[in-house]
Amino acid sequence: MFRHPQTTPKGVETDDAIRVQLSVNGEPLDLDLPPWTSLLDLLRHRLALTGTKKGCDHGQCGACTVLVDGRRINSCLKLAVSLDGAEVTTIEGMAGEGGALHPLQDAFVRHDGFQCGYCTPGQICSAQGLLNEGHAQSREEIKELMSGNICRCGAYPNILDAIEDVLNDRVSEPRMPE
């Protein structure tokens, strides 16, 4: 990684900036970052991708969940400089062409899977990570594997309905012959 001088948020000169190349929602980026920048702060403060929410900033609530190379992570706990070469997907990158809703977004709308909506981007990214993992086969397993995403409005039954709907659709999809 390439290093060169950088100004800290407090205006103090530091030579600790680190160059990182990563893609966010398919857009390649070449950034010089102070090494203490969390992925969450990079997304919200530098890239203005404010769909990803900051709840606790301590890995306790799941509001900041995004996908890194298809795996769900708490972006508040991940240093951005550790993601050289990674592909990051946020809620802004979930919709399809022309803004068509992702199946999870559509299911959350149909099942009324939110109230204030603050936890929703994290819930949806986490649900996509859960689907990618392929471990959840039942409502109980969805509940267990989504337990890191807190909803202070208590919309859990509807969130579960939405994810279960998409999981069942996937299971029932005809498989291509190998």
Backbone angles phi, psi at 26, to 5 degrees: 85, -5
Whose tokens are 């509001």? That residue is 63
State the Cα–Cα distance between residues 34 and 37, nearest whole angstrom: 6
* Cα dihedral sign, 164-165-169-172: positive
Give 103 or 122: the residue with its C-beta nearer to ligand FES: 122
Query: What are residue 20's DSSP bridge partners?
Result: 31
Residue closer to ligand FES (CB basis): 32 or 79: 79
C-alpha closest to that of 20 among 86, 75, 92, 93:
86
Q: Residue by residue, what is the 3-state secondary structure of 110-164?
A: HCCCCCCCCCHHHHHHHHHHHHHHCCCCCHHHHHHHCCCCCCCCCCHHHHHHHHH
In the bound state with ligand FES, the residue whose beta carbon lies nearer, of 119 and 131, is: 119
CB atoms within 10 A of CB 120: 23
> Minimum distance between the CB of residue 116 and ligand FES, rounded to whole angstroms?
3
Is the Cα dihedral 67, 68, 70, 73 positive or negative?
A: negative
Binding mask 17-56 for ligand FES (x = CB under 6 A): -------------------------------------xxx
Which C-beta is closer to ligand FES: that of 17 or that of 125?
A: 125
Span from 29-37, 108-116, 131-139, 169-177 in contact with ligand FES (CB under 6 A): 108-116
Site for ligand FES in 109-148 (CB under 6 A): 114-120
108 contacts ligand FES (rule: CB under 6 A): no
Q: Least distance in Å: CB of 88 to ligand FES?
A: 15
Binding mask 65-104 for ligand FES (x = CB under 6 A): ---------x-x----------------------------
Stretch that binds ligand FES, among 62-70, 87-95, 104-112, 168-176 (CB under 6 A): 62-70
Which residues form the interface with ligand FES (CB under 6 A)?
54-57, 59-64, 74, 76, 114-120, 151-153, 155
